[in-house]
Amino acid sequence: MSLIVNNLQANIDDSPILKGLNLEVPKGEVHAIMGPNGSGKSTLSKVIAGHEDYEVTGGSVTLDGQDLLDMEIDERSRAGLFLAFQYPMEVPGVSNANFIRAALQARLPKGEELDAVAYYKSLYEKMDILEMDRKFTARAVNEGFSGGEKKRNEILQMMMLDPTFCILDETDSGLDIDALKIVSQGVNAMRSPERGFLVITHYQRLLDYIKPDVVHVLSDGQIVRTGGPELAHELEESGYDFLKEPVTA
């Protein structure tokens, strides 16, 4: 049971971005994907989540055996997939509390109402872990949030929705070291044998806080190297220059 990406190919505006990508993240593991700008890191997360700008031209993505590519965006979410956005969107006028409530409500059978008291209890507990002010619940989703607040909000949503598989897309970008620690704490608190993580990042820094089991290097739409945590350090020291050498996968 895991996330399995098999020979995934995807285009945007007819130009290929993912060119036969293979990846398997078993439950309970944290895998990091690193790679230079333009290698397809963010495309991978959006294709898995079902963004309509990308056209899947081949391959498959399954989560615990379910065919994700056959599902609507919201169905994928309810099937257990969570994507923490690199650039979380603002939703003007909709409070955080209402937004998260709507997302939880969408997971309940028709006619069943979310228990409000239990909901707020759970929400406040998680906000405390992320050191978020209570006033945050009444603020509109991401509107006027600092970069750090937006990322914390992503992790809060992740904690509330309790997904089986999480993709973190450049969650470290725009974070100062304190925010990075808090966000990482939140992620680490969620690590469990029942949950898989794919952490997409450009820098090794995040991986000091969220320790990966496996590190993959993505280049030109394919995974070109896979290794242990030491691979991230190696990349940190010598950069991505090795990619310029001819590679045989």
Tokens 């310029």 -> residue: 244
H helix count then E strand count, the chain: 8, 12
The footprint of another protein on residues 142-171 (CB under 8 A) is: 157, 161
Q: What's the gap between Cα 101 and its chain centre?
A: 20
Torsion angle of C-alpha atoms 79, 170, 4, 244, degrees rounded to 10: 160
227 CA to centre of own chain: 20
97 near another protein, judged by CB under 8 A: yes
Instruction: Check: CB of residue 34 under 8 Å from CB of residue 202.
Output: yes
Residue 194's Cα: distance from chain center in Å?
16
What order of strands is seen across the sheet that includes strand 196-201?
81-84, 165-169, 196-201, 30-34, 214-219, 222-227
Counting contacts by CB under 8 A, is residue 138 touching another protein?
yes
Strand, coil or helix: 211: coil
To another protein, the closest distance from the beta carbon of 50 in angstroms equals 8
Per CB under 8 A, the list member of 2, 98, 185, 226 interacting with another protein is: 98
In the 8-state DSSP scheme, what is residue 29? -
Stretch of 8-16, 19-27, 76-84, 233-241 contacting another protein, by CB under 8 A: 76-84
Candidate ranges 5-13, 90-98, 186-194, 233-241; the one touching another protein (CB under 8 A):
90-98
* The one segment of 9-17, 50-58, 171-179, 182-190 that binds another protein by CB under 8 A: 50-58
| Largest CA-CA distance found in the chain, in angstroms, rounded | 59
Amino acid, single-letter form, for residue 15: S
- Shortest reach from residue 154's CB to another protein, in Å: 10
Strands 222-227 and 214-219: antiparallel
Q: Is 137 in the site for another protein (CB under 8 A)?
A: yes
Smaller CB separation from another protein, 161 or 223: 161
Site for another protein in 200-219 (CB under 8 A): none
Q: How far is the CB of 81 from another protein (least distance, A)?
A: 8
- Distance between CA atoms of 15 and 157, rounded to whole angstroms? 33
Nearer to another protein, 76 or 225 (CB): 76
Q: Which stretch binds another protein (CB under 8 A): 89-97, 125-133, 171-179, 193-201?
A: 89-97
Interface ranges with another protein (CB under 8 A): 49-53, 72-74, 76-78, 82-83, 85, 88-95, 97-103, 106-107, 116-117, 120, 137-138, 140, 157, 161
